[in-house]
């Protein structure tokens, strides 16, 4: 998407484009913490409702003996006390204070959700069952909420396509939580390591610098097609794939092709993945014959070594 934005710009300011790419990645990391914070907001509402019921002049037996299973969920308590989570919230200033209707709407939907009813009624009070519910809350109730989706789109254009990916990030994180983890369990980092960060920047920069070479390769291998007639997103997916094959010798060609075919399924037309797959296969044959790339280490997987 950053490459698409660069191609739609009137200028060719690469530094600005790289800055926007970095900012968009940071916004994705914000969303990761924002969804975890949303769980806490809903939990706060549940606790608030219990306290309000206890303050009634004539409380019912149910008011006096509330089911605190969700309110006291140990996984949510761990998220609330997590050191790295709170440190990030403090520096990013993330808050739902201006969008309080979202946690309240989700809380009300949760009350009428069969999964919640089963969870609250179950005698299984194991840590695993508590964790499973929190994961389902995010991967199912959050995921299916149009109100949440619209609210996120309203807050940031960078979040339009991020929620699916971020929900997977959150799910992977919570699956690592254990009862003995306490408040020190590490959340997912913005980048896996420095090499990962450098890869993102270098791939983006090289894809732009190598635009002419990529266009020629695409043109050479699209019989009966002119590059101008191919959808821009198809071209950009192939441009990134070609750049990765040529510029990153440690990455196997098969890994690159599989990755970008999947990306084409998500960002391009329904038929794009088949089209992109066929063209990339031909391009790889051409650049292999011309000796335009050399693989080493793990990158040799699937390559014929002479």
Is position 186 within any domain? no
User: Are 44 and 168 members of one domain?
Assistant: yes
> Look-up: residue for tokens 């335009």?
292
Can you give the pLDDT at residue 23?
93
Is residue 167 within a helix (H) or strand (E), and if so which, with residue range?
helix 163-175
User: Are 149 and 212 members of one domain?
Assistant: no
Can you give the pLDDT at residue 227?
60
Q: Along the chain (306 residues), what's the average pLDDT of each consecutive run of 10 residues?
A: 87 89 94 98 97 88 90 97 95 96 98 98 97 98 96 92 91 94 87 92 95 92 71 93 95 94 88 90 92 78 60
> Look-up: residue for tokens 């959808």?
231
User: Are 89 and 223 members of one domain?
Assistant: no
User: Are 175 and 73 members of one domain?
Assistant: yes
Q: How many domains does the chain have?
A: 2
> Look-up: residue for tokens 């980092």?
189
CB atoms within 10 A of CB 52: 10
User: Are 286 and 211 members of one domain?
Assistant: yes
User: Are 67 and 207 members of one domain?
Assistant: no
String of DSSP letters for 4-72: HHHHHSSS--HHHHHHHHHHHHHHHHHHHHHHHHHHHHHHHHHHHHHHHHHT-SS--HHHHS---TTTT
Residue 252 is part of which domain span?
194-300
Q: Give CA–CA dist 197/275, Å, rounded.
A: 30
Domain boundary among 146, 181, 216: 181
Can you give the pLDDT at residue 306?
47
Is position 187 within any domain? no
User: Are 137 and 167 members of one domain?
Assistant: yes
Is position 5 within any domain? no
What is the DSSP-derived secondary structure letter of residue 225? Answer: -
Is position 1 within any domain? no
User: Are 38 and 135 members of one domain?
Assistant: yes
Tokens of 292: 């335009």
Tokens of 14: 């690469």
> What would the pLDDT profile of 58-89 be if each residue is shown by its tens digit?
888 888 889 999 999 999 999 999 999 999 99
Can you give the pLDDT at residue 57?
87
Burial, 144: exposed, middle or buried (Cβ in 10 Å; 0-12, 13-18, 19+)?
A: exposed
Can you give the pLDDT at residue 198?
93
CB atoms within 10 A of CB 161: 13
Is position 3 within any domain? no
User: Are 214 and 168 members of one domain?
Assistant: no
Can you give the pLDDT at residue 94?
96
> What would the pLDDT profile of 29-60 be if each residue is shown by its tens digit?
999 999 999 999 999 999 999 999 888 888 88
199 Cβ partners below 8 Å, 6+ apart? 248
Domain boundary among 181, 216, 243: 181
């Amino acid at each position: 998407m950053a490459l698409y934005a660069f191609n739609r710009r009137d200028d060719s300011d690469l530094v600005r484009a790289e800055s926007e790419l970095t900012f968009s990645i940071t916004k994705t990391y914000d969303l990761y913490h924002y969804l975890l914070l949303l769980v806490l907001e809903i939990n706060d509402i549940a606790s608030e409702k219990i306290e309000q019921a206890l303050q009634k002049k004539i409380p019912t037996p149910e008011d006096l003996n509330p089911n605190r299973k969700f309110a006291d969920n140990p996984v949510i308590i761990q998220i609330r006390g997590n050191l790295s989570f709170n440190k990030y919230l403090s520096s990013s200033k993330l808050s739902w204070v201006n969008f309080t209707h979202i946690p309240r709407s989700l809380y009300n939907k949760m009350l009428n959700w069969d999964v919640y009813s089963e969870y609250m009624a179950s005698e299984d009070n194991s840590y695993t069952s508590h964790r499973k519910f929190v994961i389902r809350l995010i991967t199912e109730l959050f995921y299916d909420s149009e109100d949440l989706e619209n609210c996120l789109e309203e807050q940031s254009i960078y979040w339009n396509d991020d929620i699916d990916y971020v929900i997977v990030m959150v799910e992977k994180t919570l699956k690592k939580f254990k009862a003995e983890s306490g408040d020190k369990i590490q959340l997912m980092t913005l980048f896996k390591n420095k090499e990962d960060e450098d890869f993102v920047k270098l791939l983006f920069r090289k894809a732009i610098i190598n635009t002419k070479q990529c266009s020629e390769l695409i043109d050479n291998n699209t019989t009966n097609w002119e590059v101008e007639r191919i959808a821009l997103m198809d071209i950009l997916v192939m441009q990134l794939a070609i750049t990765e094959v040529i510029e990153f010798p440690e990455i196997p060609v098969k890994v690159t092709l599989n990755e970008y075919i999947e990306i084409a399924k998500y960002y391009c037309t329904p038929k794009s993945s088949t089209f992109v797959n066929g063209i990339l296969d031909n391009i790889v044959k051409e650049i292999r014959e011309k000796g335009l790339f050399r693989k080493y280490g793990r990158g040799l997987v699937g390559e014929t070594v002479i």
